[in-house]
Structure 1
Amino acid sequence: MALAFSRKSRKLLGTLALGIFFPGAGLAGSYGAGISNSQWYLAESVFECSLVHEVPGYGRAVFRHRAGESLSFFLESESRLMRPGRGALVVEAPVWRPGVAPRPVGTVNISEGRRPVSLETRQAVVLAQGLLDGMRPTVTRASWYDGSPVRVQVSNINFNGQYQLYRSCAANLLPVNIDQIGRSRVAFASGSRNLSEADMNMLDDIVAYLMADTTVERVFVDGHSDSVGSRIDNRALSEDRANVVADYLKNRGVDPDLITVRAHGDQYPVSRRAAENRRTTIRLQREGDRPELQQANGYGGASAG
């Protein structure tokens, strides 16, 4: 027997179908925590400090501060709610503070994926200051399925205390993260084996990281030279350059058993410019990293030799 549906019923069924097959569909409106369920949590280590806030019905709002970087912010959601494009970001007063004018922050890019909103330092700091002032940062963008507005609000309730703990965490972060020093290089002047003050500062940062990250199982130190002079002399010079870096790391407390020293002479040039080939590269290998199957060139890719 055929079933007849009114236009209103068909529209309702369509909305329900969207909700079944596309989580979050049909849920346009405002998302945000209230007085009774607004919580902030601090996840802390010497590698990263994160302030996490659950946004009911939407996902999470996260302030993230990695070692060696500045504060950032992102929204995370498993549901595709907002249409990709430009959204509006404002800092507005909560409903219990009527009469306080909202402060526009600017536009934000809404992208695909689990993190549709990612903000760099300036806007992240503006959001944090707004929360400290008792305001609610809000991102607004048209929904992906019918264009009705979706508003995601970040609650200021219980933020202040956790933010103070975050500041203490940030003060104790390492100076660098693995992405910044996992592949490093020391450049040398022609015929030189000496480390500059800047080189030593960089190596000190590597030492600080190695002392904290127990998952690093190998440090490859590879010496190189330009092609000026004999190959025998260049091989010896590249070995001296590798050893001066390795000895510096060891003297600062790095376990000698972690360090593998290799010398390659002029075998692996990375440029036609001689100055760029006079180098020692340092590569940190952590547990679970796939072994590098490439030549000992560039910024630390070193498995030959």
Structure 2
Amino acid sequence: MPITKTAVLLLGFLLMALVAATSRASLTFSAGIENSQWYLSSSIFECSLTHNIPRYGRAVFFHEAGENLQFYLSTPRNPMRKGQAALVLEAPTWRPGSMVTDLGYVAVAQQTRPISVGQSKASQMMDSLLQGMMPTFTRRARFGDETIRVEVSSINFSQYYEDYLTCVAGLLPVNFRQVERTAVFFKVDEAVLSDSDIQALEKVILYVKADPSVTAIFVDGHTDVTGRRIYNRRLSKDRAEAVTDYLITAGISPEVITTRYHGERYPVVDNRKPESLARNRRTTVRLERGTKPPKVDDSVLDITEEGSF
């Protein structure tokens, strides 16, 4: 039976469709049943649950002190194209028939942590893993037309979950970034700590006592521009010493504290704007890690006669 021109064209179209389908095949990164592992890292500063994904990198649930739960993918070479990846919760191949939950899209960046997920979706992902589901990210390949799939396996996840919850319960209420620089503010002509000031300082004290890498604390007193310079210098000294005394009374070693006072110098806002002066009536507390407090020249801190200004 002779082959008609129509049949030739149809065969050509079928071949083209086959080639196109092949070029759009998916490449899946996933840990199989035999090598799916989770690892817990815990401290009072952070808790993390890490899952190794062969040939890809890591999937990490990360909860830092003072912050919300986050999830991220880490890879030395991101195979996904920059843009938006679809995130779904689906059943593994050995559990067919379960419903797929669509969590929407997440951003893909060209970096070693190409995908980061915030608290809400990260919590849903964690809950789904406890139910044996598999969070999956899908995105076009960075180079080529194939689809990239990254699957997060639920196997062995539940055995670390209780320990993870225990770790989270023991986290500090703040992290270093949140207390690295703290400002307490004062009323006009006063050097008395308010309740809110004390609450802020208590967070600093709690963190410093927990983190031995904090080796220097700088306390700097300031005033606004109202008043005479010698008076402002004395007032800034009183404000700085009020904070220093509170830290020492709470158990912070005076050896790590450097106390300084500057009067109206170094304003954070323009002193010519009366409505902003309150922000200059402050004492700042700055923490440093891994360094020793520099030796302080006492002559710099002395209250001098007004004629010296």
In the other structure, the counterpart of 1:196 is: 194
In the other structure, the counterpart of 1:264 is: 262
In the other structure, the counterpart of 1:277 is: 280
Q: TM-score, normalised by structure 1?
A: 0.84
CA distance in 2 between counterparts of 1:238 and 1:280 reads: 8
* Structure with greater Cα Rg: 2
The within-5 A match list for 1:1-305 is 29-272=27-270, 273-287=276-290
CA RMSD of aligned residues (A): 1.6
Matched residue of 1:68: which SS? coil
Matched residue of 2:34: which SS? coil
In the other structure, the counterpart of 2:13 is: none
Q: What stretches of structure 1 move > 6 A for 4+ residues in a row? A: none
CA distance in 2 between counterparts of 1:187 and 1:283 reads: 15
Over the matched positions of the two proteins, sequence identity in percent amounts to 47
In the other structure, the counterpart of 2:19 is: none
CA distance in 1 between counterparts of 2:33 and 2:194 reads: 56
Matched residue of 1:245: which SS? helix
Matched residue of 1:36: which SS? helix
Question: Which has the higher mean CA deviation after the structures are superposed, 184-193 or 53-62?
Answer: 184-193
CA contact 1:28–1:81 (8 Å) conserved in 2: no
Q: CA deviation at 1:133?
A: 1.2
Matched residue of 2:200: which SS? helix
CA distance in 1 between counterparts of 2:291 and 2:194 reads: 33
Q: CA deviation at 1:196?
A: 1.8
In the other structure, the counterpart of 1:22 is: none
Unaligned runs of 5+ residues in structure 2 are 1-24, 271-275, 295-309
Q: CA deviation at 1:33?
A: 0.9
Higher normalized helix content (fraction of residues): 2
CA distance in 2 between counterparts of 1:73 and 1:106 reads: 15
* 1:204-239, Cα deviation, whole Å (9 max, x unpaired): 111111111111111000000001011111111111
Report the residue type matching 2:92 in the other structure: P
Unaligned runs of 5+ residues in structure 1 are 1-26, 292-305
CA distance in 1 between counterparts of 2:86 and 2:110 reads: 17
Report the residue type matching 1:133 in the other structure: Q
In the other structure, the counterpart of 2:305 is: none
CA distance in 1 between counterparts of 2:193 and 2:167 reads: 33
Q: CA deviation at 1:147?
A: 2.3
Matched residue of 2:48: which SS? strand
